[in-house]
Amino acid sequence: MSFTLTVNGVVHTVEADADTPLLWVLRDSLHLTGTKFGCGVGQCGACTVHIDGQPLRSCTLAVADAGDRKITTIEAVSGPEARAILAAWVAGDVPQCGYCQSGQIMSAVALLQEIPRPSDNDIDLAMNGNICRCGTYMRIRAAIKAASQEVRAGRA
Amino acid sequence: MDDIAGKPRRSLITRRGLLVAGGIGGGTALVVGVAAANLTNIISIGAEKPDLSAFGPFVRITPDGWVTVVNKHQEMGQGAHVALAAMVAEELDADWDKVRVEAAPANTAVYKNLSMGMQATGGSTATANAWDQFRRAGAAARAMMVAAAAGTWQVAASEIKVKNGVVSHPGSGRTAPFAQLLDAAAKIAPPQSPQLKSPDQFTLIGTDRVRRKDSLAKSTGQERYTQDVLLPDMLTAMVAHPPQFGARVESFDGAAARLVAGVVDVFEIPSGIAVVASHTYAAKKGRDALKVTWNTDKAEKRSTGELLAWYREIATGKGKLKPETIHKSGKPDKAFSGEVFETSFDLPYLAHAAMEPMNCVAQVDGTRVKLTFASQIQTVDQVNTAIAVGTLPGMVEIETLSAGGSFGRRGSLTSDYTVECVHIAKKIGGNRPVKLVWTREDDMSAGCYRPLSHYQVSVKTDADGYPQAWRHIGVAQALMPVGKNTAAVEGLGKVPYVAMATDVDIQVYSPRFPVPVSFWRSVGATQTIMVTEHVIDQLARRAGRDPADYRREIYRRMGDSRRLAVLDLACQKAGWGKPLEAGWARGLAVGESFGTVVAQVAEVRLVDGRPVVRRVVGAVDCGLAVAPDQIAAQMEGGTAFGLSAALYSQILLRDGQVSNTNFDSYPILRINEMPIVETHILPSTNKPSGMGEPGTPVIAPAVANAILALTGRATRSLPFIDAEVVS
Ligand code: FES
Ligand code: FES
């Protein structure tokens, strides 16, 4: 079947079975490989993308259910929160293997867009769907807080 | 198509000339077959010649002013790229902002790990084995630059300075960046033993400027992992594996699978039934549609509980299996009369569960093979691939990519998933790229686990309560096909608590059955440190001593100044002995692995019987600290990894089938459970030792010791949560 998707501001028409997870359409059809496959069952968050601004797991969303909602991936996430998060991630050398980090960043950007000054508890709630097997959680938390300051100070 | 990483891609199978043997750079090639040809040389026959620059196989300097460090070690998150690049940059006096790192091609002769004799990353050896080699590479390139400038400017080499990639002669005011001197430097013969800096001359190594080079690519989705490889005409494969270890295909019906749109081929390979498709989801649907009958005659059908019951029986010595004596001293047969401290441990199978499930891309064209993936032990992957294809190891070209984690999984000595991919690519043939994708479930149920183990420990103490006789019986599958199973009791004989005893008896039983086991981050240290450090806290209690003081006394008696120093530093920073709020307790553990000594103090409380860890204060002696921020990162990550395992991890077999195959049933520590990990590095000018693994094994006994302090209850099995399932 053919589906029309709006990904990173561009309208694409893709051929896929209706039950194909959006993850594989992004990766295999559109070659947007920044979004990662980690578990396939919504447990790890490596595949997190924004759908109309909300962080969702693309491995558990069928392409047929994406509809005409706006899909944003790590390759095109933008705005002050995204800039601040990226800068804080690099400044803090957050990644180790890096494989989870696209998903972590997509969750973190959505958190800051929703809650400009997240508490530790807000961070726990927003980020605990994202596994980091390398255990970079301390740096993720610190980077979110640093990015939050930059955004609020109008520096991002 | 493959321009996503923005890097120029090499042609499919490139042969930039054949490297006959170990010599590089001019005229030293050995003739194959002469007596001098050793194993390394044979493995390298046909191997891809490295991009030889005038500066040797590890350093390239290009007209754009960039210095490229060619790293023989794989980057899997542990920071090997940045540490080794810093060694080169330090001695070269390069501009650190214009240094990049590239993975070396597979070539054992040139890029072997000097502590293993093969091209391999593991055992936390990257920094240690490359310490002299990579600094020399940088120093040699610097000397060539200096000689080139001296010749060009007609000044004395001794008057020339190099800083941030610029060569200068203060007397004449002349300066030139590296790029300007390239042609002249290329004509200089590299010095064989260039002068190295002493640690007090370092301006980069050991500073906080040594930061990762890959953080930007890894924070923007641009880092290229195996999973992301896109090649023209590439096919994607999945494999249906037997439901139990040791089972095999009896028959299969691929008709329905072939009807799935996008499925290209279905065939049997040694490890199962391969479904090859034009894209990942088609391969998965095709595999779901397969009908396979498995022959389980030789399969392992026992459950974990049965295996452990069997292990306990083996440990009594009543079974048929005979033990190996790993260490014996004094007269242990007569040493255990009277009151003896006895305990036992059951430690589970553990999966690595790297974030990127195992995968590989292979192209086979007759006897030539190209692999594009995160190879961790290139030499072994070459040999295993060559056997599968019927070619020479040197004919297997490997482009090594960053790994989305490994923790030892990609270092499997059978190259299991690599060989699986190669078999499929061989059947497809014609140099067509095939990407093998494992799902999380494939990855978790494929074995290569940290071995299941059982330990029985008996300690007889002297009048002051210190070990006088120590008996340690271990039961665990061996990691290596040959040799003594020392990993099951890794380093035990040298642990001061054991070494101080007059009578020592260390024995290991190594049952053999089809569940594959392999190296899991910090390997045998996870078992030895858990067992000994928890035993020692129990002995301290018996002796009525504070666990830190009790350890100190032993370290002093044994002259173990490194353990003493990390213990003191960790205790001081953690406030050992100072009161905590009600319900909280501290637990301490100390461990040496891979030449690095770590002490950690964990603050723990129990909530509904489950340990919650809020803070872990650690001290580490890893010799000279090359990349301090990455040492902290490895302590943070290693602690998370060890804590995750201690709290939750156990691969459970039910009738031989792996019953936890995804993160819902094999939970991984999440951000809300992550303690604050503080790292204090002991100042040292000793040769650096590894950091990829030593952060992992100490946290489990530290938590067990805190629980002991809170409840008086000893831990006899892991994980802490759901431990009853296996016992
Ligand atoms: S891959 Fe989607 S949540 Fe893990
Ligand atoms: S950085 Fe490796 S999984 Fe998060």
The CA distance from B357 to the nearest CA of chain A, in Å, is: 7
Least confident range from A69-73, B165-169, B608-612, B721-725: namely B721-725
Q: Does B404 sit within 8 Å of A98, measured CB to CB?
A: yes
Helix (H, G, I), strand (E, B) or coil at B493: helix
Chain A, nearest residue to B635 by Cα: A135
pLDDT at B126: 87
**Nearest alpha-carbon partner for B717 in B541, B557, B577, B530:** B530
Same domain, A54 and A96: no
One domain for residues A113 and A59: no
Instruction: List chain B domain ranges.
Output: 226-298+358-437, 453-726
CB contact under 8 A, B633 and A96: yes
State which of A11, A45, A72 marks the end of a domain: A72
A vs B: CB pairs below 8 A? 178
The domain boundary residue, chosen from A54, A72, A90? A72
**Average pLDDT across chain A, whole number:** 97
Confidence (pLDDT) at A11: 97
Tokens of B444: 């978790």
Q: Are residues A31 and A13 in the same domain?
A: yes
- Whole-number Å distance, alpha carbon B105 to ligand 1 midpoint, is 32
A84 & A148 share domain: yes
Name the burial class of residue B183, with classes exposed (0-12), middle (13-18) and buried (19+) by CB atoms within 10 angstroms of its CB.
exposed
Task: Please tell me if residue A11 touches chain B, with a CB cutoff of 8 Å.
Answer: no
**Distance of alpha carbon B477 from alpha carbon B346, whole angstroms:** 14
A60: contact with B, CB 8 A cutoff: no
Q: What is the CATH number of the domain that holds A37?
A: 3.10.20.30
Contact flag A39-B236 (C-beta cutoff 8 Å):
no
In whole angstroms, give the CA distance from residue B252 to residue B267: 9
Cβ distance of B76 and A39 shorter than 8 Å: no
Q: Rounded to whole angstroms, how far apart are CA atoms B143 and B146?
A: 5
CATH topology of domain B226-298+358-437: Aldehyde Oxidoreductase; domain 4 (3.30.365)
Give yes or no for residue A106 CB within 6 A of ligand 1.
no
Residues A48 and A68 in one domain: yes
With an 8 Å Cβ cutoff, are A41 and B637 in contact?
no
Using the atom order of ligand 2, give the atom closest to the CA of residue B355.
Answer: 3
CATH architecture of structural domain B453-726: 2-Layer Sandwich (3.30)
Residues of A in contact with B669 (CB under 8 A): 135, 137
Instruction: Kindly list the residues from chain A whose CB atom is less than 8 angstroms away from the CB atom of residue B633.
Output: 93, 96, 136, 139
Bridge partners of B504?
Answer: B329, B470
At B448-486, the pLDDT tens digits run: 999 999 999 999 999 999 999 999 999 999 999 999 999
Ligand 1 atom with the smallest distance to the CA of A37 is 1
What kind and span of H or E run contains B398? strand B396-400
Q: What does the block give as tokens for B127?
A: 């920094």
Pick the ligand that lies closest to the CA of residue B356.
2
Among A72, A89, A121, the domain-final residue is A72
The partner residue sitting opposite B219, judged by closest CB among A33, A73, A95, is: A95
Q: Which of B668, B632, B685 is nearest to B79 (CA)?
A: B632
Q: Which residue has the higher pLDDT, B7 or A117?
A: A117
For residue A40, list chain B residues with Cβ-Cβ distance below 8 A.
Answer: 439-440, 662
Ramachandran bin of B17, using left for φ above 0, alpha for ψ from -120 to 50, beta for the remaining angles: left
**Is there a common fold for B226-298+358-437 and B453-726?**
yes
- Residue to substitute in A36, A44, A101 for testing ligand 2 pocket (most ligand atoms within 8 angstroms of CB): A101
Residues A89 and A63 in one domain: no
Separation between Cα atoms, residue A22 and residue B409, nearest integer Å: 28
Distance, in Å, from the CA atom of A18 to the CA atom of A64, rounded to the nearest integer, reads 5
Query: Which of B337, B294, B599 shows the shortest CA–CA distance to B468?
Result: B337
User: B285-320, pLDDT tens digit by residue?
Assistant: 999 999 999 999 999 999 999 999 999 999 999 889
Q: What is the pLDDT of residues B537-566, one digit of tens each?
A: 999 999 999 999 999 999 999 999 999 999
Say how far apart CA A71 and CA A5 lie, in whole Å. Answer: 8
Determine how many CB atoms are found less than 10 A away from the CB of residue B502: 15
- Work out the mean pLDDT of chain B and round it to a whole number: 92
- What CATH number corresponds to the domain at position A118? 1.10.150.120
pLDDT at B596: 97
Which among B217, B225, B230 is the nearest to A31, CB-wise? B230
Number of folded domains in chain A?
Answer: 2
How much of chain B exceeds pLDDT 70, in percent?
A: 92
Contact B181, B167 (CB under 8 A): yes
- How remote is the C-alpha of B580 from its chain's centroid? 36
Q: Which domain holds residue A28?
A: 2-72
More confident residue, B37 or B676: B676
Contact A59 CB / ligand 1 (< 6 Å)? yes
pTM: 0.94
Order of strands across the sheet that contains B166-169 = B161-163, B166-169, B174-177
Pairing relation of β-strands B434-437 and B359-365? antiparallel
DSSP character for A2? Answer: E
